[in-house]
Every structure is written in structure tokens, then in C-alpha cells.
Amino acid sequence: MERVLSGIQPTGEVHLGNYIGALRHWASDQDSYDCFFAIVDLHAITLPQDPEELRSATLDLAAILLAAGIDPERSTVFVQSHVAEHAELAWILQCFTSYGELQRMIQFKDKASKRHGEIVSAGLFTYPVLQAADILIYRADRVPVGEDQRQHLELTRDIAGRFNQRYGETFVLPQAAIPRMGAKILDLQMPDAKMSKSADSPLGTLKVTDPPEEIRRKVKVAVTDSGREVVASPDKPAITNLLTIYAVATGSSVPDVEASLAGKGYAELKAGLAEALVEFLRPLQDRRRELLADPGELARILRAGAEKAREVARKTLSDVYERVGFLPRSK
């Protein structure tokens, strides 16, 4: 079985972009792959976090992953900081990554530009190398992610290739698995930007935990494009985005949704979309609430996941240490 690895940060709250672009594919990948899913808390602290909020967001995210259909019996679900090997491998890989490569990372440039005089940490700069370590340490073949992660995946392949060339085949070169539909869900208020946890406008980000009335409100005030026709096209990014979300929420395709709304206007599109989303998110929201009622069980699942992950990670790291020339650790 090929192996899948993906991660999500316990920062802010999970939004529709995370769910549509990543999480729902994680759930379906379990049928065909040996899956490793990480809650990447080490990545979260590249920007300032409140410790208590980070702890509770980590547990909440575990509940959301399970509520989204990830089955801890079939997949390895764990918290990144519980597997110290990620950070150890990241150090080695930093020595195989150039400053220039990291400077070209779009996410770094975006996130650094939003710091407005606040410290831009070295962790934010080297974050893509830790992400490379997350993937390479499991020798993952496939990484299901949204479009925003394409550049980081290419960097991961470059780093792995460079290491392999120098020391012999050590890492698997992973493929990014970017969905054809919904790989970049846009902000409902600023359809020139992706939906994001740290968006300036809270109305633009639809959280998977938003109650029905909040979903209806956010869809109602979503920005639209000029014109009146409900069609997807490059000059209608906002309507295309709403149609994409509608298609995913109803398990259909954009042309089918367009056809069902033929002759109707933006108001009907929004009304139908809001109800479709309420129904789409309801099972996840109900299940999350049930899971959060038993935090002890969530912690147990994460502990078991970390143990399974560590077994694989330890083996890769020891191969790497041996290849770069470190003396064996005492047993």
C-alpha cells in the first residue's frame, strides 16, 4: 500500500477551505492508502499562540478530524510535537536547503508581510523544511493538500532528491495530491484571496463549526461579481467560488449546479447554498460535539497514534543519521 501523509495546524478554527481542500480527501484516502495525519502544533508556533488556546485547539482539531471521518483504527492520527523525530530530521534537512530557496516561498512572503513591525521568526522562514521533514520521515508517496501547498511540496522533492543524490536512495519523492475541484476555496469577502484562518474579515471565513444562522449570514453577505447570470467563469471568481462550494456540499458538479439554477439569480444561488451547507456540515458538527465530551478518549487516541508514528519515524531518522556520519546512539 502506498503511504499518505498530511498535516493541519491547530491555529484558529478549521474552515471550509481546509475541509474541502484537504480533510474530506483525507477521509476517502483511508480506503486506498496507509494514512498518517498530523496535527502540526510545531508549525503553529511559527506565529505567536496563546498556550491555553493552542492546547484546546489541538484537542478540538483531533475531534474535527475524527468527526470528518478519519478512523484512528485505520489511520495514524497524532500530534506532531509528540514525535520528536520530526524536529530532529528538520535540522538535518535545513543543512540541505538554501537560503535562496526559502526566500522564494510565497507563504513566507505573505505571512511575513502581515507581521506589520512584529518579529518575523526564523521558524516562520524555515517552516517549509519542517514540513519536508514531516513528509519525508514517513517516506510518504502522496500528500493530499490544497493548492497553497504546491510550492512547499516541490521544495520537499528538491530537498529529498538532493539528499538522495549525495547519500544514496534514502527518501521517497512525494507527489502532491491536489484535488481538481475545491483546491483553493476563496474568501467570501475577498474573492482574490484564499479562505484563511487568519483573514482580516471574519465574515469571509466560513468555519466548519459555524452554527446554521452564522452560515446563512456569511453566505448572504458574501461578495458577488458584476452581472446577474449564475455561471462559473474566470471573470466571475466570487460566483465560481460559491458554485464550487455548492457542488461539493451537494456532491454534484459545477455544471449540474449551474443547470439547476438556470434562469435564477444570485439571491437564489445564495439561499440554496446556505441550506446545502447547513446540511453538509451538520453531521460533522454533531459528531464533533460528541467526541469533545470525552477528552480522555481523544488523548488516548492521540497517544496511540504517536506511538505508531514514532515507530516509522525512528527508523527513517536512524538511517539518515547513519548516512550523514553520526556515531550510533548508545542503546
Binding site for ligand AQP (CB under 6 A): 8-9, 11, 15, 17-18, 20-22, 145-146, 148-149, 183-185, 194-198
Active site residue 194: yes
Selected catalytic residue, list 109, 114, 197, 331: 197
Q: Which is nearer to ligand AQP, 76 or 80 (CB)?
A: 80
Query: 194 near 186, Cβ under 8 Å?
Result: yes
User: C-beta of 299: minimal distance to ligand AQP in Å?
Assistant: 21
User: C-beta of 183: minimal distance to ligand AQP in Å?
Assistant: 6
Q: Which is nearer to ligand AQP, 59 or 317 (CB)?
A: 59
Q: Which is nearer to ligand AQP, 22 or 302 (CB)?
A: 22
Residue 76: what are its φ and ψ, rounded to 5°?
-95, 110
CA distance 122 to 232: 41
251: left (phi over 0), alpha (psi -120 to 50) or beta: left
CA-wise closest residue to 34 among 315, 312, 298: 312
Selected catalytic residue, list 184, 194, 218, 270: 194
CA distance 120 to 109: 10
Active site residue 331: no
Cα–Cα distances (Å) from 201 to 87, 102, 106, 189, in that order, read 34, 28, 21, 7
Q: Which is nearer to ligand AQP, 139 or 207 (CB)?
A: 207
Cα–Cα distances (Å) from 189 to 78, 114, 150, in that order, read 34, 18, 24
User: C-beta of 112: minimal distance to ligand AQP in Å?
Assistant: 12
DSSP character at residue 11: S
Q: Which is nearer to ligand AQP, 139 or 184 (CB)?
A: 184
Rounded (10°) CA dihedral 27, 30, 33, 34? 110
Active site residue 109: no
Strands across the sheet with 175-177, in order? 76-79, 34-39, 3-8, 142-144, 175-177
User: C-beta of 165: minimal distance to ligand AQP in Å?
Assistant: 28
User: C-beta of 17: minimal distance to ligand AQP in Å?
Assistant: 3
Q: Which is nearer to ligand AQP, 18 or 81 (CB)?
A: 18
Position 135: which residue type?
I
Strands 34-39 and 76-79: parallel
First to last CA, the chain: 31
> Alpha carbon 240 to chain centroid distance?
22
User: C-beta of 329: minimal distance to ligand AQP in Å?
Assistant: 32
What are the residue numbers of the active site?
A: 111, 194, 197
